[in-house]
Amino acid sequence: MPAKKLPETDDGRIKALQTIINQDELIGMERAILPIAEFYEYRNLLLSFEGSSFCFKQALEDEQKADKAYVGLFKTAQLYISHFIQVLNMAIIRNEIKTENLAFYGLENSNEFTVPDLSSENAVLEWGERLISGEANRTAKGGAPIYNPPISKVKVHYDLFKDSLHSLTIYRHNTIRAQENLEEMRNKIDRFIWDTWTKLEFKYWGLPAEERKKMFDLYGIQFHHQAGEQLNVFG
């Protein structure tokens, strides 16, 4: 017998399972491949799989949207944090703010007023918190606030980035859960399709070639053919 070829996509699995169920329902209980209990079990499984497939696609779409928003907010937060530090450093150079005030921001050990590496999420989170806390503490002791950008604007973009990171984490977890659930159902459906097609092969293999091929086509059996192999299912 030629090798059977299982569907490779979720849409293919849904189509194969739907074809088996529809054909068994059409052909009647006496000639059906599935026992009645299995028929209802796998009809319910089909409905569940369709729902799970939709949920996974929706979760993935939500994650992609959240990721796109996150990338923009991450870059903006980087920009405002970097800009604030540069303005602070310029104020130090112009003697508008005393050098010792850098300690409020955790910048007392910075080398030649350089901007820290802000390439990672953790760095942006860390330095955003430092700047917001440091500016509040410095101005509380009578220091003049920094403008252009003011810390309030830095905080807005920092909070937006932080919220987007939290949301993206939730969406990623949702996608992982939906994918794990779908993968479990895929395995069950693949086994069912394979077992049902095998039953079909043995049930109809004794029929004349054309009748056998017709039944295989009605139930949607797919066969895998090697290069150069004759493309038939007649044995």
Q: Which of 13-17, 177-181, 215-219, 226-230 has the lowest mean pLDDT?
A: 226-230
- The whole-number pLDDT of residue 2 equals 63
C-beta of residue 175 within 8 angstroms of C-beta of residue 60: yes
Cα separation, 81 vs 78, in Å, equals 5
- Strand, helix or coil for residue 227: coil
Written as one string, the DSSP assignment of 81-93 is HHHHHHHHHHHHH
Closest CA to 203 of 3, 34, 28, 26: 34
Instruction: Give, for 3, the enclosing helix (H) or strand (E).
Output: strand 3-4
pLDDT at 127 over 60: yes
pLDDT at 220 over 90: no
Written as one string, the DSSP assignment of 113-175 is TPPPP--SHHHHHHHHHHHHHHHHHHHHTTPPPPTTTTHHHHHHHHHHHHHHHHHHHHHHHHH
- The DSSP call for residue 233 is S
pLDDT at 170 over 90: yes
Which two structure tokens, joined as six digits, stand for 159? Answer: 């909070």
Residues in the chain: 235
Q: What are the b/e assignments for 10-31, b being 16+ CB within 10 Å? A: beebbebbebbbebbeeeeeee
- The whole-number pLDDT of residue 223 equals 78
Give me the mean pLDDT over the 66-94 stretch: 96
pLDDT at 227 over 60: no
Cα separation, 93 vs 98, in Å, equals 9
Contacts of 117 (CB under 8 A, 6+ apart): 123
The more confident residue out of 190 and 213 is: 190
Q: Which residues pair with residue 224 across a beta bridge?
A: 3
Q: Which of 4-13, 114-123, 215-224 has the lowest mean pLDDT?
A: 215-224
Cα separation, 6 vs 63, in Å, equals 29
